A and B are shown apart, each in its own frame.
Chain A
Amino acid sequence: MAINPDFVGKTFSPSEPYEVSRVKLAEFADAIGDPNPVYRDRAAAQEAGFADVIAPPTFPIVISMASSSRALAEPGLNLNYAMVVHGEQRFEYSRPLRAGDVVTAQVTISDIRDVGRNSMMTTTTQISTVEGEHVCTAYSTLVERGGAS
């Protein structure tokens, strides 16, 4: 069964606030194998002009995924997660995320379509601080292999 196109345009309520911590940023940088000190050493980050350690460019996926998993689990959406691969990903940043930021993520399902034998879903996630400052917009396209109707 294909992903249910009735969900296009659905915007979910913002996630619970997520606090960006130095420990998490260092753990993520370790996991991607990036030794850059601006991700783990406050003095190095400040020398580069940032208020605190910053996040690697792909870190916002941790926040957007946690939030979009709620969308993926939506009853009736019909997404078979074992058959899902990541099709496309894009980020637009107003500034780097940094330790101490408290942000929320708001997910909108922006597109669902069949392409060949596959079914594709695109989500747009706005990540903003609880004070209302936009930090990043994440666009994710997931492909359910063999999911076309």
Chain B
Amino acid sequence: MSDQVTYDEVEVGTELAAVSYPATRLSLVKYCGASGDFNVIHWNERIAKSVGLPDVIAHGMFTMAQAGRFVTDWAGPKATVVEYGVRFSSPVVVPDDDTGATISVSGQVEEKLDGNRVALALTARAADTKVLTRARAVVRLP
């Protein structure tokens, strides 16, 4: 896991390098089971296409979880997430092959707040399209 980052060492404007996370059909099936969200558009190509989607799409919450992991890996084990929000701007289309889709997450230190809190602005892309907008997390650091 990552090293522990501390509030004092964080600087506003620091860019957090992009990390790529895979999303395959298997990921979505596992996420259906673990989350209890069995909406057919996440596992049934026939129905996904019949309701006008290009293919099976990832759960928005799966994508949000990847960006959440980006935050907690950066912040370190002793940090806690105080606030985390996103808007799902575009679906992550997951083709039926061995590679699936790739979600690339990057970020920037947006603001240092009182109480050892730090706000991060996040960006997530898949196939060169922004899949999350207004993505922001506030973490409390040691």
Cβ-based interface call for B66 (8 A) = yes
Query: Is the pair A48, B30 in contact by a Cβ cutoff of 8 Å?
Result: no
Query: Is the pair A31, B31 in contact by a Cβ cutoff of 8 Å?
Result: yes
Q: In whole Å, how far is B70's beta carbon from the nearest beta carbon of chain A?
A: 10
Chain B binder among A5-13, A92-100, A101-109: A92-100
Q: In whole Å, how far is B21's beta carbon from the nearest beta carbon of chain A?
A: 7
How long is the Cα–Cα vector from A27 to B33 in the complex, in angstroms?
9
Instruction: Sort chain B's interface into a size bin.
Output: 35 or more
Contact among A30, A92, A145 for B83, CB-based, below 8 A:
A92
Cβ-based interface call for B129 (8 A) = no
Contact among B30, B41, B73 for A82, CB-based, below 8 A:
B41
Work out how many contacts link A and B, with CB atoms closer than 8 A. Answer: 116
Query: Is the pair B81, A86 in contact by a Cβ cutoff of 8 Å?
Result: no
Query: Is the pair B47, A92 in contact by a Cβ cutoff of 8 Å?
Result: no
**Can you identify 28 A-B contacts, CB atoms within 8 angstroms?**
A24-B34, A31-B27, A31-B31, A31-B35, A32-B62, A33-B21, A33-B66, A36-B1, A36-B73, A36-B77, A49-B78, A56-B69, A57-B65, A57-B81, A58-B61, A58-B68, A58-B84, A61-B35, A86-B59, A87-B88, A88-B85, A89-B60, A90-B83, A91-B85, A92-B82, A92-B83, A93-B81, A93-B83
Given contacts A31-B30, A48-B78, A88-B86, 12 further A-B contacts (CB under 8 A): A31-B34, A33-B69, A36-B69, A62-B36, A84-B39, A86-B59, A87-B88, A89-B60, A90-B83, A90-B85, A139-B85, A145-B52
Q: List chain B positions with a Cβ less than 8 A from chain A.
A: 1, 21-22, 27, 30-31, 33-37, 39-41, 47, 51-52, 57, 59-62, 64-66, 68-69, 71-73, 77-78, 80-88, 91, 134, 137
Q: List chain A positions with a Cβ less than 8 A from chain B.
A: 24, 27-28, 30-34, 36-38, 44, 47-49, 56-58, 61-62, 65-66, 81-93, 95-96, 139, 145
